[in-house]
Amino acid sequence: MTGSPREPQQDRSRLTRERLLTSTIDILSGQGWAAATVARVAEEAGVSRGAAQHHFPTREVLITAALEQMFTDLTASAAQDVADLPAGPERIGIVVARAVEIYVGRNFRAALQVWAAAASDEVLREQILPLEAKFARAAHEMTLAGLDPDGRNPNAYRLAQATLDLARGLGLAATLSDDSRRRAQVVATWVEQVELGLGG
Amino acid sequence: MTGSPREPQQDRSRLTRERLLTSTIDILSGQGWAAATVARVAEEAGVSRGAAQHHFPTREVLITAALEQMFTDLTASAAQDVADLPAGPERIGIVVARAVEIYVGRNFRAALQVWAAAASDEVLREQILPLEAKFARAAHEMTLAGLDPDGRNPNAYRLAQATLDLARGLGLAATLSDDSRRRAQVVATWVEQVELGLGG
């Protein structure tokens, strides 16, 4: 706190924005695309419609900001310090599990609603593709750093790619039903394969 | 043709039903979930609304039948005779490519719209889960038979599972943008991994 008279208002504004984004993600993941309108989100967040429209004048702006928030949260939760990882085969298990965690859960379920809508909405698609590309790069960098901390394994780049594609596929399967037991088997198989592929 | 007087009408009825299902899949994959109503599908198919409602009294019945059609088409296109596959490492490449083909293209894009809608619609979800389970079993059996024609490799079952999860993740990535070059790299990496995993 610097004592500037503008600060409390800026804080309130920031908090309102955060509440609206949280409600957007909640609604997308729980009620789906059609429900995620500025009006419904404002109601869920306990914010007046005018205040919501001040922050997010259109649904597209709100959805894009929410997707950016999801991607930030997703990469933050997976980006624990690579230096803390144990050496040896155990490390690969942790890195693969973190990649899968990105795609399983509330944030991915919400993002899936946006992707499905964007598949048939070119304007929305053009808006979210740069976010998607930035997110994909961040996820790949994290996974690669985990699989190959020394940056010397020639197979690590493509194994990191394949790991994230697998994780996305597991995440999509998890949106319909809880298949966590099956998923654990597939992850175990995958970890063995990555060990083989890295020549471990 | 047996000459039965009922046959032509049955044929027409079957053709009308097929046209409606094809239009449903076209609309889902091209325009998304919200557009796939019985009325819009009837219009697209050039069928009267009354005739459409005779075949599919509700949107749920139409969507479920369309999903069943997608799954049938998806497994049929991938279910070429396993006996025709070449022996050796080439076979694994073909089997993995077929698995990926299941999830890339119009049928998967349409199915994704239904899955995304079902994620927040419990009634729809309960209706499609048995179809989804049947489809998953068929895809797994095909992939397993391709990877392990003799049924003797202890790793084949789980490698077939992982192959399909990877394929699903690649398919989801392909719905937003054409990433076929990146996908080809990931597929090549995975084929090598499966060869290693099968002890080839």
Q: A58 — phi, psi (to 5°)?
A: -130, 165
B164 chain-A contacts, CB cut-off 8 A: 169
User: Which of A32, A173, A182 has the CB atom closest to B120's CB atom?
Assistant: A32
Q: What are phi and psi of B94, to 5 degrees?
A: -70, -40
What pLDDT was estimated at residue A1? 47
Asked if pLDDT for residue B79 goes beyond 70, the answer is no
Interface size between A and B, measured as CB pairs under 8 A: 138
Q: Show the DSSP H helices in A32-119 as ranges.
A: 38-45, 49-55, 59-78, 89-103, 106-118
pLDDT classification of B1: cutoffs 50, 70, 90: very low
ipTM summary value = 0.90
pLDDT at B55 over 70: yes
Interface test with A, best of B92, B134, B193 (most A CBs within 10 A): B193
The pLDDT assigned to A41 comes to: 98
Q: Is a pLDDT exceeding 80 seen at residue A7?
A: no
- The answer to whether the beta carbons of residues B45 and B20 sit under 8 Å apart is yes
- Domains identified in chain A and CATH numbers: 7-197 (1.10.357.10)
Amino acid at B32: G
* Between A77 and A140, the higher pLDDT residue: A140
Tell me whether residues B165 and A185 touch, CB distance under 8 A.
no
B113 touches B28 (CB < 8 A) = yes
Give B-chain residues touching A29 at CB under 8 angstroms: 120
Closest Cα in chain B, distance from residue A166 (Å): 4
What pLDDT sits at residue A178? 86
Mutate to test the interface with A, among B172, B178, B183 (most CBs of A within 10 A): B172
Spatial distance between the Cα atoms of A136 and A172, rounded to a whole number of angstroms: 16
Best to test chain A binding among B155, B165, B190, B195 (most A CBs inside 10 Å): B165
Q: What pLDDT, on the 0 to 100 scale, is given for residue A131?
A: 93
Contact B197 A185 (CB under 8 A): no
pLDDT the model gives residue A162? 96
CA-to-CA distance for B200 and B194, rounded, in angstroms? 8
Tens-place pLDDT, residues A158-195: 999 999 999 999 999 998 888 899 999 999 999 999 99
